[in-house]
Every structure is written in C-alpha cells, then in structure tokens.
Amino acid sequence: MKTDIMEGCCIPFEKTGFFSNTFNAYINNDPSVKPFIHRSPSIENFPEQIKDKVFSKAQREVLVNSLKNQYEKYPSYTPQIERLLDENTFTVTTGHQLNIFTGPLYFIYKIVTVIEAAKELKAKYPQYNFVPVYWMASEDHDFEEISYFCIKDKKYVWENDQTGAVGRMNPKNIEAILDRFKDMPDFFKSAYQNAENLTEAVRAYTHYLFEKEGLICVDGDDVDLKASFKSVMKKDIFENLPHQWVEENNQKMEEAGFKTQIYARPINFFYLKGELRNRIEQIDEDTFQVVDTAIKFSKAEMEAEIENHPERFSPNVVLRPLYQEMILPNLSYTGGPAEVVYWFQLKELFDQMEVPFPILLPRNFALVITEDQQRKLAKTGFSLEELFQAEHLLKREFAERNTDYDLSFEAEHQMLFQAYDNLLAKANEVDVTLIGHIEAEKKRLEKKFAHTSHKFVKAEQRRQQESLQHLLNLKYELFPGGGLQERRENMLGFYLKDSSFVEKVHQTLKPFELSFQVISI
C-alpha cells in the first residue's frame, strides 16, 4: 500500500547541513550578497531582466544558423530552434559536463529545473516565449570527472587514453561498459554507437530524454559562435582586463566575508586544436606560448589567429559564462551551490563588458525515496529531515529517544556544579586566590562529566544495536558514502525499475521553491 508521508516534503537548505553559508545567504536574500548579483531568483524579477537583455536580430540569426548545423541529424527540431529568431523569445540555461550515461542524478535535476522554469515563466508571462537550454561543456578537458557513473556500490569506468577537449573524443571504446552492463537501455546504446564524438552522443541521449520538452543543447565549440567572442579574446589575451576585473571583484567578496572559488589568470583562454587544449601564456612583450608545447605566436600572429581561427580559442571557467551570455538571449543560469557562488566573482566582469548579469536560479536539489524506504522510515519514528544529521548525532538522538532511562543527567549536572558555585562563593569570602584553582577544577570536571555522559549514551547504543542498525542502514541507502544521493547515484538505478522516473522528476521538482525537495517513487 502506497504511503504518502513524503507528499510535498521540502527541507530548508540550512537544515540539511550540506550547503555553504554563502549559498544559504543567497537563498535567504542576505543584503551582503546583493553587490555580487543582479537580481534574486524570484519569478517576479524576470520582466525586468527581459528589459535588460537587448539581443539583436543579427545575434539571433548567428545563433539559429549554428544550432541548425548542430541539429542537422534532428530536422524535426528546426521549428523549436527557429523560435529563437523571435525578439520575444528568451532562454533559461543550465550547463554541465558531458558525463557518460548522464553521470550523477543532479544532471537530470539541472535539466528538469530549466524545463520546468520555462513552463512556469510562460504561464506567468504568456506574451513571451522561454526556451530551456543545456550548455554542453564540450571543451572541458577534465576527462576523469566525466569518465564514470555509479549505481549503488558499483562503479562503471570508461577506460580511455584520448586527450584534449572531451567533446571531441571518440566514444567507440565505451563498448566495454555496454558489454558489461547487460540491461543498458537501447537509447544509450544507440547514442554511443552512432556518434562520431562524445558531444554527439550526449546530445543524442539528452534529446531522447527531453525532446518533447523542447530542450535545446548548445555546443559552444562552434566557429560561428566563437567569431562573436573575438573582442573578448583580444581584451583578455592582449590587455588582461578580465583578470583585473575579477581580482577587483574577489577583493570585494573577501572584504564582505565570502570565500572565492575560481582563479582568474592574466590570460583565460586555452588553445584548442585537434586533441590539444592547453593554456596560453605571454612569455615576453611580443611572444605568446601554448603551455607544454612548442607552439608560439608573436602579437601580430596571435591577432591573425584570433581573426582567422576563433574556434581555436577556448575560454576557461572565468570567461565561459560571459561567452554563454553573449551568444544567447539568456535570462537566467541554473547551477549548483558551487556554481552559483563562483558566478558571484564575475559580476564586475559582466558590468565592465556591459553584458547583463543573469538571474542565478539554483538548480533543484532532491532525494529519491522509494515506498519501501518510506515504510522503513515511518517505523523508525524519525523524520526525513532528521536523517540529514551527521551519523554520530543521529545515533545519540536514537539512543536518547528510545531508552527507558534518563540520559540527560541534568539533575546530576546541576547538583555537581552547584557545589562548585558554593565553593567559589566561599573562596570569595575566605581567600580570592583560591578562585582560579576552583574554576580550573570545575572545567576539568565538566570535561570528565561530558565524557562519562558520552559513555552512558554509547552503552545505550550498544543495548539498542539491532534497532539502531535498521536506522543507520536506511541512512546509508539514502546518503551513500555519507554524502548526498544526487551527487553519487546515476539515474539508471531508478530508470531501470521504472521507465517513468524522469517524468516523476518533472512532476515533483518546482524550480522557484528554493528548498531541498523529495521525489517519492
């Protein structure tokens, strides 16, 4: 029988213990965050964002033509792409690495967040159109991060010795995983077996999962899109202005008490060619070098390279967001807690470049819980929110809640320390030099008292070991490795049991409800 104890369950971020103070400050509209954002992530703020986002007809035509080329294999998608020619059409965007087989669950949550945000925006502002976008991190070269996925305790790894931008890698040797994973859905098999590179494969499986939702995948590794970014390439490579602006912003953040996460270099571009994606450095007044290679350019040669081959210049984490916002009619960016915070560092960069800073809409965060797990949780008498506690706190809470004895020792505590208070009063009358000694003894007793109290609790935990283990087993299931389920588990662990899993994610997640949500299946 279906239980509904999770119906509409949302947990405040600060109650989970998994989010930084900076992120929580942003969610709670703390005034200290305002200098580093443009507008808060409220649906009511989008009309003003639309007014700010001036995006020309020429820019729209470049974007649409590039997307048509990227979607050559999907001609039925042309009408959705051509909607972007309309001056009343805007995008809401998320970005992510090209993880194999979608990687961790939060990839799905990111995509669903922008899709559902687009729906809610259309319902509230019907005079505009909103297109959900997935920005593919095709130029990223951190292969290790995208090379595996996990289901329960099993890890599936793509063994691959290719180098360079991951989007350009050939996925054919991923067959070993397909051979090992006998229940792999056909759409994943087809995506990898029929693709020339990883970008094509990820577009194929993402298209399968979200085609009916109108999601558009944008690959920034595109000569025409890069051509519109030439001015930034020159400002960065020849003048080092983005480095200066980000450093100024970082100083303001640190003065406000916030930690910075990304580092701006004097030059924030990689040189991208074939299997090469290496940093560019200036080694003297007229010479630029591609790090760890023999490739060098004079200033004149570098200018010519930018003009003739802009596709060979790949922005790093500092400039990639600016690139995205300059080629899309974009209103909001959806990312995780670390992404949201590093965007704070870019506010001055955007202001100086006179590019509207997007609304930072945090992705949805969620925990998937099955009916069986819900029944187990109900038997423990604990709420789901309480399971977010650290293990040692959960164990203590369980012992104190289920014991037949009083483990608080409040009466004993008051009795012992009343005696010390009496001694202090007497010392004040007899010899004040004794006060320091008595206070030191009191502190020593407090430590011993706490240690003894802890031993009583541990003894009670041993007595309740069997029942306690049921609770801990459930916590381990829902928080694998002590972390969030969404950062480890792959969608296949749920999709193979229920092919409507992605639809259930759509039904549950609400992008403008800024809290940790629960997907009951």
Q: Which of 24, 25, 21 is nearest to 34 (CA)?
A: 25
Give the pLDDT score at 406. 56
Question: Could you read off the pLDDT of 163-211 as tens digits, one per residue?
Answer: 999 999 999 889 999 988 989 999 999 999 999 999 999 999 999 999 9
- Contact between 129 and 80 under an 8 Å Cβ cutoff? The reply is no
Provide CB contacts within 8 A for 449, sequence distance 6+.
409, 413, 416
Give the pLDDT score at 463. 60
Return the residue matching tokens 């969610």. 27
518 phi/psi in degrees, rounded to 5 = -125, 125
- Contact between 111 and 134 under an 8 Å Cβ cutoff? The reply is yes
* 3-class secondary structure, 349: helix
Output DSSP code: residue 289. E
Q: Which of 35, 74, 37 is nearest to 212 (CA)?
A: 74
Tokens linked to 1: 């029988």
Please list the ranges in the chain whose pLDDT falls under 70: 1-8, 402-413, 449-466
The Cα-based distances of 302 to 265, 272, 288, 291, 307 in angstroms read 18, 14, 8, 15, 9
Helices (H) and strands (E) in the chain, counts: 25, 15
The Cα–Cα gap between 204 and 271 comes to 27
Q: In 240-346, which residue ranges form alpha helices assigned H by DSSP?
A: 241-255, 299-308, 320-327, 337-344
The Cα–Cα gap between 146 and 166 comes to 9
Provide CB contacts within 8 A for 400, sequence distance 6+.
407, 408, 457, 460
The Cα–Cα gap between 141 and 143 comes to 6
Tokens linked to 319: 């400039």
The Cα–Cα gap between 118 and 498 comes to 26
Provide CB contacts within 8 A for 106, sequence distance 6+.
336, 363, 365, 486, 487
The Cα–Cα gap between 325 and 348 comes to 14
Kindly report the number of other CB atoms within 10 A of residue 342's CB atom.
16
Task: List strand residue ranges (DSSP E) for 74-170, in order.
Answer: 89-96, 129-136, 148-151, 154-157
- Contact between 490 and 103 under an 8 Å Cβ cutoff? The reply is yes
Provide CB contacts within 8 A for 252, sequence distance 6+.
35, 36, 348
Q: In 368-434, which residue ranges form alpha helices assigned H by DSSP?
A: 371-380, 384-387, 391-402, 410-430
Complete edge-to-edge strand list for the sheet that includes strand 216-219? 216-219, 129-136, 89-96, 330-335, 359-362
**Alpha-carbon torsion (64, 68, 71, 75), positive or negative:** positive
Q: How many CA atoms lie within 13 A of 175 on its CB side?
A: 6
- Contact between 488 and 494 under an 8 Å Cβ cutoff? The reply is no
- Contact between 306 and 226 under an 8 Å Cβ cutoff? The reply is no
The Cα–Cα gap between 519 and 496 comes to 16
The Cα–Cα gap between 275 and 88 comes to 40
> How does DSSP assign 4-21, residue by residue?
-TTTT-EE-HHHHS-S-H
- Contact between 124 and 149 under an 8 Å Cβ cutoff? The reply is no
